[in-house]
Structure 1
Amino acid sequence: MNATSSFIYNIVDWITKFAYLNLLWILFTLLGGVIFGFFPSTVSMFAIVREWLKGETDISLFSTFWKHYRDEFFKSNLLGVFVSLVSVVIALDILYIKSTTNELLTWTYLPLFAFMLLFIMFLCYLFPSFVHFDLKLWQVIKNSFFIMLINPITTLLIFLCLLPFFYLVSLLPAIGFIFGGSIYAFISMRFSLHAFQKVSEKQQALKVSNEI
């Protein structure tokens, strides 16, 4: 196999992997009745992407996905309760604003929109932190928020990569159905791993300085 053929094969192979992972995400979400399947399925997808990024590219997708789905079913649904509650509060606030005024961009509502932005930024690190760190649920939530606060540039890079992809999906919805979840997981996980490494290096440097 020459270099060109090898390159084309690798491209097709990765396209197939991303599409298959996205299909598993959808199917296992449905398996849990959507409500109880979405968060375990999303966690499983992020766990597989993490293994890819760490060099484990030849894993069995189905069996690995099922293992993470089964092992993290209850913990990930507890995470889902937290995310859903915050989302419901935001949605109710928005509905209240719409029912009381026709203007959503007045300065009095800036705290709500700032909170929404922080929550979206926080979600970029939540699932990566869940699968990367062996922590209790509340520690995962605190860790994600802390990492989000100290890595504004990394968060900006995540947004800069996701926005063009979401725009493309808005033009071609089929791309979102085939690759939406897996591409989102890959982008978030890729930059999150970089942020985790930076935090680890800072902690190690602080530890060394304290020992000195």
Structure 2
Amino acid sequence: MNPNGIVTTLEKVMNWISRFAVVNFLWLLYSLMGLFVAGVFPATVAALGVSRKWIAGNKEIPIWRTFKEVYFKEFAAANVLGWILTAIGTVLFLNYKVLQVRQEEVVFMVPFAFYFVVIVYCLVVIWSFPLLAHYQTSIYQYMKHAFIIGLSKVHITLGIFVTSFGLIYLSISYPAFLPLLFFSVFAFSWMWGAMYVFSQMDTANV
């Protein structure tokens, strides 16, 4: 066994842990800077933007500067998109509570239609933010393409779901993971799946 190889591997692992820790700290900091309600969505897009650079091979980017640039550049668009999706999610939640209360009065097909809408909503949420981090277009186009990609790339969508639940389980099992690395690792895996799809789309459009 080559000791130099072990040292090099450990150095790479520690470098990635430190990168993820910095992005996680920045996500928390900039979310709080916007009092969370105005900060969490642009901070999320900024974390995805940094991950996008890493996945593209730019591993030595200045993390703080890159994060800050994406945060302020996409501040308005991320908040508009985020709060539209939040409003839709709130309406769906209220409808769910109504269905629970009046389940005996509801027509048989209504719950199935409702859950279909919930699935569509989840697809749009999953894909809209990576699209915002990668492309420049309108809010409507982000949401429309999020729906199309979510349906056409079901295996990637499921992979993102499984990864997110796995990270949540890890955070519950090891609570220290949550404030140190959770969101940055999630953002990287989220963007990695998205970039796999986007690279195929970009190649097809060349």
TM-score by length of 1: 0.86
Q: In the TM superposition, what are the counterparts of 1:7-156 in structure 2 within 5 Å?
A: 7-101=9-103, 108-156=110-158
After superposition, the CA RMSD in angstroms is 2.0
Corresponding residue number in structure 2 for 1:181: 183
Q: Retained in 1: the 8 A contact 2:123–2:151? A: no
Structure 1 Cα separation of the partners of residues 32 and 166 of structure 2 = 28
Per-residue deviation, 1:189: 0.8
Paired residue total: 201
Q: Which runs of 5+ in 2 are unaligned?
A: none
Corresponding residue number in structure 2 for 1:4: 6
Structure 1 Cα separation of the partners of residues 54 and 69 of structure 2 = 16
Question: Which one-letter code corresponds to 2:202 in the other structure?
Answer: S
Q: Retained in 1: the 8 A contact 2:123–2:146? A: no
Question: Which one-letter code corresponds to 1:139 in the other structure?
Answer: Q
Structure 1 Cα separation of the partners of residues 83 and 162 of structure 2 = 29
Structure 1 Cα separation of the partners of residues 172 and 118 of structure 2 = 22
Question: Which one-letter code corresponds to 2:49 in the other structure?
Answer: A
Structure 2 Cα separation of the partners of residues 178 and 94 of structure 1 = 34
SS in 2 for 1:70: helix
Q: Which runs of 5+ in 1 are unaligned?
A: 205-212
Corresponding residue number in structure 2 for 1:164: 166
Deviations 1:125-144 (A, max 9, x none): 11111111121222122121
Corresponding residue number in structure 2 for 1:207: none
Deviations 1:172-205 (A, max 9, x none): 233122222112211111111111223334445x
Q: Retained in 1: the 8 A contact 2:31–2:40? A: yes
Question: Which one-letter code corresponds to 1:78 in the other structure?
Answer: V
TM-score by length of 2: 0.89
Q: Per the alignment, do residues 171 and 118 of structure 1 end up closer, same or farther by CA in structure 2, a change over 3 Å counting?
A: farther
Q: Retained in 1: the 8 A contact 2:51–2:191? A: yes
Structure 1 Cα separation of the partners of residues 175 and 98 of structure 2 = 31
SS in 2 for 1:2: helix
Structure 2 Cα separation of the partners of residues 183 and 113 of structure 1 = 29
Per-residue deviation, 1:108: 4.1
Deviations 1:79-133 (A, max 9, x none): 122111111111111222333359xxx8642222222223223222111111111
Per-residue deviation, 1:51: 0.4
Question: Which one-letter code corresponds to 1:40 in the other structure?
Answer: P
